[in-house]
Amino acid sequence: MKNVGVLGLGIYVPDKVFTNFDFEKILDTSDEWITEMTGIKERRFAEDDMDTSDMAVLAASEAIENSGVAKEDIDLVIVATSTGDHRFPSVANLVQDRLGLRNVPSMDQLAACTGFIYSMVTASQFIEAGTYKNVLIVGVDKLSKITDFTDRSTAVLFGDGAGAAVIGEVDEGFGIKSFELGSKGSGAPHLYDDAETGKLQMNGREVFKFAVRQMGESSVNVTEKAGFEADDIDMLVPHQANIRIMDAARERMNMPKDKMSCTIDKYGNTSAASIPLSIHHELKNGKIKAGDNLVLVGFGGGLTWGAICLTW
Ligand code: ACO
């Protein structure tokens, strides 16, 4: 059995910061409501001339550089996104060309906010099977493209960003120990991109209830499957959708606050990018170190969910 993990990570977030106070100027909302109900203080928005693929390319090139893997040794590109530049070609096709990679297979994967976890698991399966050695994965979304900025119940939640990783073989004892993926298409009406308006529609209450239950359950499941106790987990890295959902998962795991990655205050919900952005943030702060046991857990439109337990 091969040990599969992250060889290098890269991120990109746009420079433009949009605070809760900026929202107070355009919507009937308040910094107090947004902070209390979601944990978000500010988010980043990409300019009009920066599309999803532009963010993906920037994060991916940093990931490749940090991995030490040569561009010619990347064997597959998977981009997790719900906000691709076009219906086709895929963002992954554009990334393959713009990074000057070989003519390797490249494809997008759509699992909304769970996308990065889906892509990491997909990459790991190709590597374990011996089909490919190094897989570039990117979680990227420009949700501002599909956000209705007149709807206060959704507009304040999202931000733009990208996170990328090169997945490959790691030393024994490191890498992915267990995973879980799931979907429940009957939940589609609660969170979707409306074809007529081109804008995201959400039944916040329903998504909230689902997420609170599923995030906790999946975190516990992958921890057990990996043969760990909750105490063995050094950090929980949840999809950053709402601090109350994240805290519920953490409480289900009986983990203290300082063992949960929290970047939602800075970036809002960046969909497929939120997990790699958070890991990157904790690595920079020294809160994730080599040998730490992590649980990554996410949920999103679909409805979809997924979790991974790994040793960094
Ligand atoms: N500012 C002020 N008031 C607001 C705002 C706002 N931005 N948004 C909603 N409200 C009001 C509502 O109008 C409502 O007022 P009313 O009682 O007078 O009707 C009140 O606040 C409560 O609204 P609810 O929607 O019932 O509040 P809830 O407790 O459900 O919280 C929230 C809303 C924060 C959106 C929550 O439901 C949530 O986080 N849901 C999950 C969202 C999520 O994680 N989505 C993931 C998307 S991931 C993906 O795949 C893209």
**Any atom of ligand 1 within 6 Å of the Cβ of 279:** no
Answer yes or no: is the C-beta of 112 below 6 A from any ligand 1 atom.
yes
**Residue 239 alpha carbon, nearest atom of ligand 1:** 48
- Model pLDDT for residues 140-150, shown as the tens digit of each residue: 999 999 999 99
Q: Ligand 1 pocket, 183 CB below 6 A?
A: no
In whole angstroms, give the CA distance from residue 127 to residue 166: 12
Identify the active-site residue in 20, 66, 134, 269.
269
Q: Which two tokens stand for residue 307?
A: 């979790």
Helix (H, G, I), strand (E, B) or coil at 163: strand
- Mean pLDDT for the stretch of residues 157-161: 98
pLDDT tens string 67-116: 999 999 999 999 999 999 999 999 999 999 999 999 999 999 999 999 99
Report whether residue 203 contacts ligand 1, using a CB cutoff of 6 Å. Answer: no
Mutate-to-test residue for ligand 1 from 153, 244, 246, highest number of ligand atoms within 8 A of CB? 153
- What number does the ligand 1 atom closest to the CA of 112 have? 50
Active site residue 239: yes
Q: Does the annotation count 293 as an active-site position?
A: no
User: Which atom in ligand 1 lies closest to the alpha carbon of residue 200?
Assistant: 51
Residue 120's H or E segment, with its range, is helix 115-128
Average pLDDT over residues 195-218: 96
Residue 300 CA, closest ligand 1 atom number? 50
d(CA 207, CA 258): 26
pLDDT digits (tens, 9 = 90+) for 246-273: 999 999 999 999 999 999 999 999 999 9
- Pairwise CA distance, residues 21 & 311, whole Å: 39
How close is the Cα of 287 to the center of ligand 1, in Å? 31
Query: Who contacts 38 (Cβ-Cβ below 8 Å, separation ≥6)?
Result: 156, 157, 242, 243, 244, 264, 268
Asked if pLDDT for residue 1 goes beyond 90, the answer is: no
% of the chain with per-residue pLDDT over 70 = 100
Whether 269 is a known active-site residue: answer yes
| Distance (Å) from CA 53 to ligand 1 centroid | 30
Quick check: 171 pLDDT over 90? Answer: yes
Q: Is the CB of 174 under 6 A from ligand 1?
A: no
Give the type of residue at 312: W
Which residue lies with its CA nearest to atom 37 of ligand 1?
Answer: 204
Q: Can you tell me the ipTM of this complex? A: 0.93
